[in-house]
Amino acid sequence: MGKARPIVAVVAGFLAYGAFTYAGTLAAFFTLGPEYEFQPGTYRLSALWIALGLILNVAGALIGGAVCRGIARGPLPVVLFARIVLAISVFGSLPSLVRDRGNHGPRVGEIGFFAANKATVPPWWLTFVSIPVGFVGITLGGRAPFRGPWRESGQTPPPGLRPT
């Protein structure tokens, strides 16, 4: 793998982060439903949904950082991954700062997952909280390398997992 290893590590970490967060959000939506995502009769996010989203963001960032570190076998790709996510988060949040935060009308009837995401009105502060959460989570998740079960048993790791 050689010189491609850091690039593969960053891409795999990003995919793990995004897949876990997206799958968790999707599972929560279909398990709890829109009545728990939104405040009653509105498209404003509920406190439960905000807390759940932050927990999923932290867990996804930790997993993404750990995947990146496990593949990269070094700390530099994790730092690069965290900085890329930080830049994407900052620039991706700019449109939400100018977004209309007014009430998008009363919420009536059932609403699907994608329509709910489009109509969601998050609180203004959530954007600023989410940015460092992902950055710090990736950094912490990538701090310690993966330690396989052979470390505790004193066995030699498999050839593909031996440190270089």
**pLDDT single digits (tens) 100-118:** 655 566 666 677 777 777 7
On the question of pLDDT at 10 being above 90, the answer is yes
On the question of pLDDT at 145 being above 60, the answer is no
For residue 65, being part of any structural domain is answered with: yes
For residue 28, being part of any structural domain is answered with: yes
- And the tokens for 20? 């876990």
For residue 160, being part of any structural domain is answered with: no
b or e along 95-123 (b: 16 or more beta carbons within 10 Å of the residue's beta carbon)?
eeeeeeeeeeeebeeebeeeebeeeebbe
H-state helical runs in the chain: 5-32, 34-37, 47-72, 76-97, 113-119, 124-141, 149-153
For residue 115, being part of any structural domain is answered with: yes
Specify the number of domains making up the chain.
1
pTM comes to 0.78
Domain that includes residue 22, residue range:
2-145
pLDDT of residue 85: 94
pLDDT of residue 44: 79
For residue 138, being part of any structural domain is answered with: yes
pLDDT of residue 32: 87
On the question of pLDDT at 31 being above 70, the answer is yes
On the question of pLDDT at 99 being above 90, the answer is no
Residue 20 vs residue 120, higher pLDDT: 20
Backbone angles phi, psi at 52, to 5 degrees: -65, -40
For residue 157, being part of any structural domain is answered with: no
In this predicted model, what pLDDT tens digit does every residue of 51-62 receive, in sequence order? 999 999 999 999
What is the band of 153 on the pLDDT scale with cuts at 50, 70, 90?
Answer: low
> Side chain identity at 9, as an amino acid letter?
A
- Beta bridge mates, 121: 44
For residue 8, being part of any structural domain is answered with: yes
pLDDT of residue 17: 97
Mean pLDDT score of the chain = 82
